[in-house]
Chains A and B, each alone.
Chain A
């Protein structure tokens, strides 16, 4: 697509610093298309290799607790009720009633209209800016498809923020991205970021969902990751969980590499959230290894890495019970929502 005249983009601080003051669709395109291509075979081989590390006994116990503390416990169904959100919150606060030493999860992730229910159910356990509580994350911007006008997306976001959401999980317009309209996607992210602003001037954390299953190539994933970071995303997230394939290890590794490059370039730390399709402790541990060996162990922190999952927690709890009791546990010993 050629542009007759340069379209100026919303001034996003990071993009202005990296690309320069004359931020246009063309300069953004030149930057994103100038990114080196991804060695797909090498990437997949590296991811497969990272999946072979043996994590046992005390390391495994540490990993399981770490996984729990990194989980965004999620329910994103059309059938969600206030009661279901309350039980999800109860599980987030006390994941395993048989063991008080079990850590809490990082956040609960719900649809925007359920935020008020989640905040009410959390009560004093709601972080609301503190470091020790549980966050409420809301999906917004016409999740999961992202097919709505910008004004709908912005009011969707603003509603969730005013209801008390600490984190906003937005979806990018994949249609526009695949059509090559990087500027449109960029502007939307900048606008949503602005909609995350609270009345007191602080911002809700913005996680940008790339929906990598729809981006078709690793090159696109790398471009979308850069785009989301340049536009001001605090986190880049793989998927909505509604599209297969959802999170995969190679894609997460690639996004972590972008985050590492950004950190080397600017010293700024961006978070990564693989979501969807991670159901077993074994898989989750592979992700921990990938994070530790790509960007470093400091990223194994709820501020910088999250798992978007619902069934993963139960599997981790079963493994945890096996480690503490010495015998295998079963699904009768964890709550099923």
Chain B
């Protein structure tokens, strides 16, 4: 007996929940060869607004957690990703049209990058912070703190590795993020948000919007409650305008990149603000 296929209609991931787009729109996700794969929600500017509100309210909890705690939470996600290897490989193969071994290599690389960044959670402060030399009876200490809400336009081509390579570095220092996933292959991002929803990451720390970056990104770039924007996957967009809009509210901006961004501590430190404090030696 032949079965009727059950095509899925995926939703957004905002504030730890999976809502439909406020606009009610969906779009078809197709394989590299053009066959129907699933429906995904097409986010509107109001979904972006809601996501920023969720990210803002989740910020104090996530930024206030110890680096060690954040590292453990992120490492746990890597464990869950391992458990879903087969699903990710399958999704990457069908949506990107690559071979099984290439998909497998991408999933391995994504998990490795995630673990690499997780390890930095309780270490980047030691690298980026400093005890400043002063000629007086006090200490002067500089320490990095998360900048706040980071909007990210994920790379369009590499659906899982590209996504992980931009989300993890912003997350690890305690920022909360609003990510616009790859428009043509959003399935890996959606599956990753299902992983995040069942992990220890508090709701609102990661918010995933699927749909058109060209439509949503300008609203995030000009949003006064977004502290930084990563234009990694905005190469095809009018990204100079996005930079100009972001400058109005003094956002930190990372420019577009070709391919997948390389893992680096600089990427973590970029989304931090340096706080410098002094403390007297006299009372010791």
Contact = CB atoms under 8 A, between A and B. Distances in A.
A200 interface: no
A331 B56 contact: yes
B219 interface: yes
Contacts of A330: 52, 56, 223-226
A329 B219 CA distance: 11
Contacts of B245: 327
A329 B225 contact: yes
Interface residues of B, number: 11
A328 B219 CA distance: 7
A62 interface: no
A48 B272 CA distance: 46
Contacts of A328: 49, 52, 219, 222-225
A169 B56 CA distance: 36
Interface string A312-336: 0000000001000011111111000
A282 to B, nearest CB: 11
Interface in A191-241: none
Contacts of B219: 327-328
Interface in B195-240: 219, 222-226
Interface SS of chain B: helix, strand, loop or mixed?
helix
B253 to A, nearest CB: 16
Interface SS of chain A: helix, strand, loop or mixed?
loop
A329 B225 CA distance: 6
Most chain B Cβ neighbours within 10 Å, of A329, A330, A333: A330
Most chain A Cβ neighbours within 10 Å, of B49, B223, B224, B226: B224
Interface in A282-332: 321, 326-332
Interface residues of A, number: 9
B145 to A, nearest CB: 16
Given A321-B224, A330-B52, 14 more contacts: A327-B222, A327-B223, A328-B219, A328-B223, A328-B225, A329-B224, A329-B225, A330-B56, A330-B223, A330-B224, A330-B225, A330-B226, A331-B56, A331-B225
Nearest to B223: A328
A97 B209 CA distance: 34
B45 to A, nearest CB: 8
B22 to A, nearest CB: 12
Contacts of B49: 328
Contacts of B56: 330-331
Contacts of A327: 219, 222-224, 245, 248
A332 B219 CA distance: 17
Contacts of A321: 224
18 contacts: A326-B222, A327-B219, A327-B223, A327-B248, A328-B49, A328-B219, A328-B223, A328-B224, A329-B224, A329-B225, A330-B52, A330-B223, A330-B225, A330-B226, A331-B56, A332-B224, A332-B225, A333-B224
The 4 closest A-B pairs by CB, nearest first: A330-B225, A327-B222, A328-B223, A330-B224
Contacts of A329: 224-225
A243 B222 CA distance: 39
Interface string B145-185: 00000000000000000000000000000000000000000
